[in-house]
Amino acid sequence: MTTTVQKQVLINARALIADPAHWTRATIARTANGRKVEWHDQSATKWCAMGAMYRAAYDLVGDQKQAVRIGNDLANSIRPRRWLRGGLPLINDVRGHTVVLAVFDKALQAA
């Protein structure tokens, strides 16, 4: 991780999904009642790992395209080597909430 913005995005993304009630799999974001929405939708209350990073980046920079770029760059930089194919979305959907938080924690420790 190379920038303060990336570190802050990771901190904020982790906070968004720290409570399993605010985390989801198989879609980027959901409302409180489980309806699928975009990560930037104001009604979103649950995010996958990528959705949380996009949302956290957007909350910092205020631009959707820049938020996606930051989130993608960050996801590529923190992806464990054994998960090169599929990356963070696959970790999120297959390995689950605890592993996602562990990946975030390891990246923060390395920062």
Q: Which tens digits make up the pLDDT trace of 62-101?
A: 999 999 999 999 998 887 666 556 789 999 999 999 999 9
Say if residue 1's pLDDT is above 70: no
Assign 42 a pLDDT band (cuts: 50, 70, 90).
Answer: very high
> Quick check: helix, strand or coil at residue 37?
strand
Say if residue 106's pLDDT is above 70: yes
Average pLDDT over residues 16-31: 98
Burial 23-34 (b: 16+ CB within 10 A, else e): bbbebbbbeeee
Q: What is the pTM of this model?
A: 0.92
Region of residue 25 (left: phi > 0; alpha: psi -120 to 50; beta: else): beta
Q: Which domain holds residue 94?
A: 4-110
- pLDDT of 81 reads 66
In this structure, the chain runs to a length of 111
Instruction: Please tell me the total count of domains within the chain.
Output: 1
Nearest in space to 1 (alpha carbons), one of 70, 49, 90, 51: 70
- pLDDT of 110 reads 85
Q: What is the Cα–Cα distance from 38 to 57, expressed in whole angstroms?
A: 14
